[in-house]
Amino acid sequence: MLLEMVAECEIYFTTNWTATSIQIEDKDFDYTGLDTWISLYFAPVLNARIGFDGTTSGRIRGDGLQSVYCYHKKQKLALKLADTVKTFFNGVELPKDIHVDIGMDGSATALSNGFYEVKVNFGVTQFS
């Protein structure tokens, strides 16, 4: 279940996202020369439970958290990129009965490498 959620989120971004380069977790990435990019990180929620999906009860529900880190050299543009990510990924229905919730972000954090970082979190749920 977890691997399906990770794979489908990555496939959705790599197939449809064109605004910036994408860093995928555990893959080499060089941001030299870039002013902006996003980075994907998926974290499982350790519980899978019997859930209700609106139509069928008794299905196993798995939950995860898709974090998208947005980077830009300018604070306002890092925040704007986070808004673009939210618009892009909010409420997406992915294959294999995977649903993405509305994204929530925080403030821009200045990093020591000259970039600002904004993290956007999306709850991801899969029923099987």
Asked whether the predicted pLDDT for residue 42 surpasses 60, the reply is yes
Q: 20 CB contacts (<8 Å, ≥6 apart)?
A: 34, 36, 37, 38, 81
Contact 86, 94 (CB under 8 A): no
Question: Which region among 49-63, 82-96, 112-126 has the lowest average model confidence (pLDDT)?
Answer: 49-63
Single-letter residue type at 30:
D
What is the model's pLDDT at position 52?
A: 57
The reported pTM is 0.89
Residue of higher predicted confidence among 48 and 122: 122
Asked whether the predicted pLDDT for residue 23 surpasses 80, the reply is yes
- As a whole number of angstroms, the distance between CA 57 and CA 124 comes to 18
| Tokens standing for residue 102 | 């509305």
**Position 75 confidence tier, pLDDT thresholds 50, 70, 90:** very high
Residue of higher predicted confidence among 76 and 63: 76
What is the model's pLDDT at position 48?
A: 57
Average pLDDT, the chain: 90
In the chain, the percentage of residues whose pLDDT exceeds 90 is 76
The structural domains of the chain, ordered by start, are: 2-127 (3.30.2000.10)
Asked whether the predicted pLDDT for residue 89 surpasses 70, the reply is yes
- As a whole number of angstroms, the distance between CA 89 and CA 103 comes to 8
